[in-house]
């Protein structure tokens, strides 16, 4: 117990002030694709980035698919219809190539990073930093040890240009262009993100980390991430997002592809804090080959609408997939999240634990898909989804789709809905906690067992984010 207590004390000491995400510096973009989306916009992006012809063609093909696909409003919320694609700027750049040393970073960008606390946390936690400032990574660096190990950590433009033999094979393969309307959009206009390759047998001890920010109004951020962990390698990637508050809606639509080759392990961690006007429509999927493991830890706080269902395709024998997710929907927010587990080999196992919290008029939806065909044997899935409602007006829905065939396969599904009762709140307030503090303690208690799985820095950040959300929800 004493050890836990000490780490608790440390946690408090390094707590991050998330209100720091709420600011904005001058916009002075060297490149701007203008407002709206057309074949010319896509050509412009390809040209500015100096991309090869095959990438330009990939973008154009994606644009066509995006334009032809209908909105998925037959199952998803009609709020999607409020996205004004014609009002969005699809590409902005400082016009700089990613730089490697801190000295080369422009001063105003430095100021942004300082406010986000990146330099400090880098010293402590990071093996390599790839921080995305709007469209381009303006600051990227890797520790020398990582480079010596042959680890590649760059953006998509550099990845596809400098290491096509590694990345081209998997790019757009885990998530095909037409997987959904927003993966097609991302494929047409992607810019920024992380391309990572971990060579055979290399176990990266420290997490790789990227910070993302949106710093321009009406600007959609379309990162593209591809992580390939070669045989027997291990890597943890951490993604954190803060966005300043804006008056009009902002679109964020990323595509993240993970490839864990034989015996490899990938852990992908997201803690998101979008401002309340952001549409956050993200496609995330991993492939796990024989004896490989893909684990998504996904926390969604903020945004107007989040739609995100991280998935794992269990392609090799004994592959393991896991999704641990936390969603918090406050007033006016809709967290539509879940997980997909596609079993495609014998002896594969998957685990889904999803917790959602609905506050005020907030709404959370869980959608799960577990697929085990009858040709397979000894496959197992465990799904738990728990919802916590903070008051009368909040709402939660669960749509589990589990298709398990075959004799030797098993699936467990548990779902619960609980409420923070008035008596609980009174009890905590009688001990001196304000209503907001009482609610955030109850919420932190609800997610407690999941948060224990997170790296310390992120569990602290998540706790703080929950506190800020709950404080704001008390009238």
Partner 1 sequence: MSDSLVINNLHASIGDRPILKDFSLTVPKGEVHAIMGPNGTGKSTLSKVLAGHPDYSVQSGEAFLDGEQIIGLEPDVIARAGLFLAFQYPSEIPGVTIANFIRAAIVARQAKGAPFDAKAYYAELYAKMDALKMDRKFTGRFVNEGFSGGEKKRCEILQLMMLKPKYAVLDETDSGLDIDALRIVSEGVNAMRGPDTGFLVITHYQRLLEYIVPDRVHIMWDGRIVHSGGKEVALELEAKGYDWVKTELASA
Residues interacting with partner 1, by CB under 8 A?
1-2, 4-6, 8-9, 12, 418, 421-424, 426-435, 437-438, 441-442, 444-449
User: DSSP E strands: which ranges in 176-233?
Assistant: 195-198, 208-213, 224-229
Name the residue among 69, 59, 9 with its Cα closest to residue 39: 59
- State which residue, 5 or 53, has the beta carbon closest to partner 1: 5
Whether 267 contacts 243, CB under 8 Å: no
Whether 152 contacts 196, CB under 8 Å: yes
- State which residue, 171 or 446, has the beta carbon closest to partner 1: 446
- State which residue, 82 or 418, has the beta carbon closest to partner 1: 418
- State which residue, 73 or 448, has the beta carbon closest to partner 1: 448
Whether 224 contacts 173, CB under 8 Å: no
User: DSSP E strands: which ranges in 28-82?
Assistant: 31-32
- State which residue, 8 or 412, has the beta carbon closest to partner 1: 8
Helices in 117-251 by DSSP H: which ranges? 118-125, 144-148, 156-162, 164-167, 181-189
Which stretch of DSSP H or E encloses residue 93?
strand 92-93
Whether 283 contacts 179, CB under 8 Å: yes
Name the DSSP class of 35: B
CB of 269 to partner 1, least distance (A): 21
* 127 Cβ contact partners less than 8 Å away, ≥ 6 residues apart: 142, 143, 145, 146, 204, 205, 206, 207, 208
CB of 437 to partner 1, least distance (A): 6
- State which residue, 34 or 472, has the beta carbon closest to partner 1: 472
CB of 359 to partner 1, least distance (A): 17
- Return the SS3 of 475: coil
Distance CA 296, CA 322 (A): 6
CB of 420 to partner 1, least distance (A): 9
User: DSSP E strands: which ranges in 205-248?
Assistant: 208-213, 224-229, 234-242
CB of 293 to partner 1, least distance (A): 27
- State which residue, 402 or 474, has the beta carbon closest to partner 1: 474
Partnered with residue 31 across adjacent β-strands are 93
Whether 327 contacts 364, CB under 8 Å: yes
CB of 116 to partner 1, least distance (A): 21
CB of 424 to partner 1, least distance (A): 5
The overall longest dimension of the chain from CA atoms, in Å, is 67
CB of 438 to partner 1, least distance (A): 8
- State which residue, 39 or 429, has the beta carbon closest to partner 1: 429
Distance CA 181, CA 210 (A): 26
Name the residue among 252, 248, 301, 242 with its Cα closest to residue 277: 248
- State which residue, 40 or 429, has the beta carbon closest to partner 1: 429
CB of 426 to partner 1, least distance (A): 6
CB of 4 to partner 1, least distance (A): 8
Helices 107-116 and 118-125: angle between axes, nearest 10 degrees: 60
Distance CA 458, CA 312 (A): 23
Paired tokens of 7? 């780490």
- Return the SS3 of 440: helix
- State which residue, 412 or 448, has the beta carbon closest to partner 1: 448
- State which residue, 350 or 364, has the beta carbon closest to partner 1: 364
CB of 429 to partner 1, least distance (A): 4
Distance CA 358, CA 169 (A): 41
């Amino acid at each position: 117990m004493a050890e836990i207590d000490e780490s608790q004390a440390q946690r408090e000491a390094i707590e991050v002030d998330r209100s720091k995400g709420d600011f904005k510096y001058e916009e002075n973009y060297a490149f701007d694709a203008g407002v709206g989306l057309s074949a010319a916009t896509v050509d412009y992006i390809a040209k500015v980035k100096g991309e090869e012809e095959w990438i330009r063609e990939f973008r154009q093909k994606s644009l066509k698919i995006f334009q032809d696909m209908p909105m998925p409003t037959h199952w998803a919320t009609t709020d999607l219809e409020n996205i004004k694609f014609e009002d969005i700027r699809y590409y902005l750049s400082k016009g700089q190539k990613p730089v490697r040393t801190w000295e080369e970073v422009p001063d105003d960008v430095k100021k942004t990073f300082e406010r986000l606390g990146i330099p400090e946390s880098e010293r402590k936690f990071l093996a390599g930093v790839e921080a995305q400032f709007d469209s381009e990574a303006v600051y990227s660096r890797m520790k020398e040890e990582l480079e010596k190990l042959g680890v590649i950590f760059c953006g998509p433009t550099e990845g596809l240009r400098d290491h096509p033999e590694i990345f081209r094979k998997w790019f757009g393969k885990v998530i095909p262009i037409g997987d959904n309307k927003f993966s097609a959009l991302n494929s047409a206009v992607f810019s920024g993100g992380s391309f990572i390759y971990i060579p055979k047998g290399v176990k990266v001890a420290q997490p790789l980390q990227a910070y993302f920010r949106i710093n321009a109004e009406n600007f959609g951020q379309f990162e593209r991430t591809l992580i390939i962990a070669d045989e027997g390698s291990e890597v943890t990637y951490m993604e954190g997002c803060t966005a300043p508050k804006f008056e009009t809606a902002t679109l964020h639509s990323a595509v993240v592809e993970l490839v864990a080759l034989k015996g490899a392990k990938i852990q992908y961690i997201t803690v998101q804090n979008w401002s309340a006007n952001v549409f956050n429509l993200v496609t995330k999927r991993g492939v796990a080959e024989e004896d490989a493991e893909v684990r998504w830890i996904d926390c969604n706080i903020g945004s107007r609408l989040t739609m995100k269902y991280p998935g794992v395709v269990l392609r090799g024998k004994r592959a393991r997939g896991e999704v641990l997710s936390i969603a918090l929907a406050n007033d006016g927010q809709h967290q539509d999240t879940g997980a997909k587990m596609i079993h495609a080999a014998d002896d594969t196992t998957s685990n889904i634990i999803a917790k959602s919290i609905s506050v005020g008029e907030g709404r959370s939806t869980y959608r799960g898909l577990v697929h085990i065909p009858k040709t397979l044997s000894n496959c197992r899935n465990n799904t738990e989804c728990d919802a916590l409602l903070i008051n009368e007006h909040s709402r939660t829905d669960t749509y589990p789709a589990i298709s398990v065939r075959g004799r030797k396969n098993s699936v467990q599904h548990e779902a619960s809905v609980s409420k923070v009762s008035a008596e609980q709140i009174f009890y905590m307030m009688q001990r001196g906690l304000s209503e907001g503090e009482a609610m955030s303690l109850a919420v932190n208690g609800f997610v407690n067992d999941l948060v224990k799985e997170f790296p310390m820095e992120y569990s602290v950040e998540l706790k703080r984010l929950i506190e800020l959300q709950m404080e704001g929800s008390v009238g």
